Amino acid sequence: MRKFWIVIIGLFGVIAAQNIFAGDDQGAKNMKDHNVKLEKAIFAGGCFWCMEKPFEKLQGVSSVISGYTGGTTETPNYENYAAGGHIEVVEIAFDPAQISYDQLLDVYWRQVDPTDAGGQFVDRGHSYSTAIFYLNEEQRRQAEESKADLEKRQAFEKPIVTPILPAETFYAAEDYHQDYYKQNPIRYKYYRNGSGRDRYLDQIWGKDRKEWTVREIKMKLSPLQFQVTQEEGTEPPYKNEYWDNKKPGIYVDILSGEPLFSSTDKYDSQTGWPSFTRPLVPENMVYREDRKLIFSVRTEVRSKKGDSHLGHVFDDGPPPTGKRFCINSAALRFVAAEDLKKEGYGEFLKLFNNNGG
């Protein structure tokens, strides 16, 4: 059935090709710190196109890869995976220090119809069925407990039939299936809307529940601040609040208030955006690979607690770090040195006792 939709929605692709917006969903979330010990999770939820986006947006998720598992074909591809008994899955690499397997399970249940043993929504057959594939005994235990908790909540009128199975060999799907929602946003939108998935999930979990947070954020932020922090936009150079601010103080996340940068590390990069040689609190930084530019791979910088898009970091900065944190003013709030104690940032006063910033 999805192949039918590929043909139908392909007619709309050329018409809307130039409507891909700059604030599209985040790129692959590979961690910059390669010393982080990542774990993996494998979930089947029907069409793997629809399973990538919900997990890729999570803090602590390094990558989400569409693929096949559970069958007998040694080298399955899109043409033969179903015949060999494989089903579509996503393999998630995540940092357990930032996000737990239990949290991934909670997200998983909210993307699928776990009462349907014959497929998912418009896609029918075993190859589109649901399943949780555990990679160790602890994952099996947590998956069983999570499923039992879901059954107790009685969110579904029918019994939950999603099986919990030992992981088998995972085969990555073809490149054109990876990040489909980003590479083909218009086609993805038509397919997802037509599949009935969102209508079902809104009916079960409530559409307003997830939109209320967005409405709250919009009430707190200006349109530009929302575009930058929530939609990964970029403000104009030299026409933003802090690019030439020389006052001593610190810069905090516009939403969460977590401390991010200090004026003691700020310098004029001649770019028209606030630039810093290093973060004030390294633990408050999250780094992700950004492939939105066709011929360039950048490192996106986000705040840990607020999950706000801040900007990017480059390796062309001055000593002593050689880094240039190029940050949007719209993602920041400046707290002057004389106001630090009053606003609860007194621990940073020592930076300015003998330094004008």
Q: What amino acid positions are annotated as catalytic residues?
A: 47, 326
CA distance 99 to 29: 13
Sign of CA dihedral 258, 239, 263, 335: negative
CA–CA separation, 163 and 250 (whole Å):
51
152: its two tokens: 């107790």
Q: Are 21 and 231 in contact (CB under 8 A)?
A: yes
Nearest to 273 by CA among 326, 335, 227: 326
Burial of 103 (0-12, 13-18, 19+ CB in 10 A): middle
- Please measure the distance between the N-terminal and C-terminal CA atoms of the chain and give it in whole angstroms: 62
Distance CA 139, CA 48 (A): 21
Residue type, 225: Q
Would you list the DSSP string of 70-114?
Answer: SSS-SS--TTTTTTTT-EEEEEEEE-TTTS-HHHHHHHHHTTS-T
Tokens of 141: 């235990």
β-pairing, 285-290 with 298-303? antiparallel
The position carrying tokens 């922090």 is 229
From 215, 205, 149, 181, select the one nearest 56 (Cα to Cα): 181
* Angstrom distance (rounded) from CA 200 to CA 192: 12
